[in-house]
Amino acid sequence: MTSARNRELAALVPVAILLTAGFAAVFAQEEARLGNLSMIYGAYFLAVCVATHIYLRIRLPNADPYLFPLVALLTAFGLVMIYRIDDGLARDQANWFVMGLVLFALTIQFLRDYEVLERYRYTIAGAGLLLLLAPRLPGIGQQVNGAYLGVKIGPLAFQPAEFSKIAIVVFLASYLREHREVLIVGAKRVLGVTLPPLKHFGPMLVVWGASMFMLVFIRDLGSSLMFFAAFLALLYVATGRFSFVVIGMAMFVVGAWFFASTVPHVHERVEIWLDPYQDPTGSGYQVLQSIFAQADGGLFGKGFGQSLITIPGTDAALLPAAQTDTIYSLIVNEVGLFGACGVILIYLLVAARGFKIALLASDGFSKLLATGLTAVFAIQAFVIIGGVTRVIPLTGVTLPFISYGGSSIVANFVLLALLLLISDRARREAVEPADRDLVFGRA
């Protein structure tokens, strides 16, 4: 079905135009002139995207046509914003974008038969957990702002949580695919609430324990929330029992509340969230500046390249961690509420396409894997956007495809590759209806 690929190609053009316009606006602001450099950047971007598109046309002709353009748009947003902060960082980010696409292509090349993931699920789960714990290992672990998020081996530094989220979703999808029946069949109704069978309650407790463990040892509230919410989404899709979700959420709230009052780092995050004014120049500074930046943006924003990131005349940050944690606030500041709603809409559309893939997929594992990957992606966006808008405590999760960071970009491109692999198979089966009459030997 080439019409899907043609739509993809057509959708990449406005994305490249948007990138060009964004860069042009930044240049117009910084150098007070309109050079042709933005056109060159736009052309490079389009060339890279079209190359990927041609690869998809050969390898996955039936895959969803809009996922890649939507993701390219997020990356374009990120590149413009990061360039606006620091052109050196933007060059790094552009390199990571290309690296991400290479890994994206390799994933599609070598995981065409993604069912093999199911066979190695315990290995994958082990690797995922090891990655999560790596930042706590002496020698290679790094502590950033009190949370253990980074790993540094020689010159190579990365955030393992970004990769482990994929590993854990793969494991959960394959585990629940096999055990969903017993979870439903063994369920008992107690006081009008459907409880999962006690024997199979174990895995749920293990996942809950793992996310609580992350809260305490990695001190990463955001990732912990992200993993557990993805697990609940998967559990709901696998069993169709809403009560399991409610029970899981209650367990998480109780656990998070307990640790928020006992673990100092988590406690501090919650305190800042509830009352950022208690230390406006210290711990509350980032949240407050992020909110002020968003308010300052207004409906249509101040325009590309117009917002202040450092206090004029000094190097002190007016908007701390603008290229990573608070990049969303920067977007609101520069393109306003409308631009920010556009960004949220992009994430919503990606999520919609992802769930559509899950609906179309024919077997349980594909359905659950597509659901899990989409859920973890959407929840990650929620956790960080919620953090900078003070809906939930601010944590150091990246805004997928927009934030500066190699691990985030590369890992999310692997996630996208898996979604497109599932989509390609599902849509191929949907257009070639199975010929059941062959079974019965009738014409």
Partner 1 sequence: MDYDPISVALKFGFLAVLYLFLLVIARSAFKDLRRTTSPAPDATGFHAAPAFSEVVRGEDAWLVVERGGGLEADERFDLIGGLSIGRSRESDVQIEDRYASSLHARVFSRDARFFVEDMSSTNGTLLNGATLVGEAELIDGDTVQIGDTVFRFEVQ
**Which residues sit at the interface with partner 1, rule CB under 8 A?**
7, 11, 14-15, 17-18, 21-22, 24-25, 28-29, 32, 34, 66, 69-70, 73, 177-178, 180-181, 185, 236-240, 300-301, 303-306, 335, 338-339, 342, 345-346, 349, 352-353, 356, 358-359, 362-364, 367, 429, 434-437, 439-440, 442
Q: Residue 183 or residue 212: which is nearer to partner 1 going by CB?
A: 183
Q: Residue 37 or residue 106: which is nearer to partner 1 going by CB?
A: 37
Minimum distance of partner 1 from residue 302's CB (angstroms): 8
Q: What is the DSSP letter of 307?
A: S
Q: What is the DSSP letter of 317?
A: B
Q: CA-CA distance, 27 to 409, in Å (whole number)?
A: 25
Q: CA-CA distance, 144 to 400, in Å (whole number)?
A: 19
Q: CA-CA distance, 325 to 151, in Å (whole number)?
A: 18
Minimum distance of partner 1 from residue 222's CB (angstroms): 26
Q: Residue 31 or residue 275: which is nearer to partner 1 going by CB?
A: 31
Q: CA-CA distance, 379 to 374, in Å (whole number)?
A: 8
Q: Residue 129 or residue 349: which is nearer to partner 1 going by CB?
A: 349
Query: Tokens for 122?
Result: 């315990």
Give helix then strand counts, H and E, for the chain.
16, 5
Q: What contacts 368, CB < 8 A, 6 or more positions away? A: 172, 173, 174, 176, 177, 234, 237, 238, 358
Q: Going along 28-155, which residue ranges are E strands?
A: 141-144, 147-153
Minimum distance of partner 1 from residue 233's CB (angstroms): 11
Q: Residue 21 or residue 103: which is nearer to partner 1 going by CB?
A: 21
Minimum distance of partner 1 from residue 392's CB (angstroms): 25
Q: Residue 211 or residue 366: which is nearer to partner 1 going by CB?
A: 366
Minimum distance of partner 1 from residue 191's CB (angstroms): 22
Q: CA-CA distance, 400 to 105, in Å (whole number)?
A: 19
Minimum distance of partner 1 from residue 181's CB (angstroms): 6
Residue type at 390?
R
Q: Residue 90 or residue 214: which is nearer to partner 1 going by CB?
A: 90
**Residue 150 φ/ψ region, left for φ over 0, alpha for ψ in the -120 to 50 degree band, beta for the rest:** beta
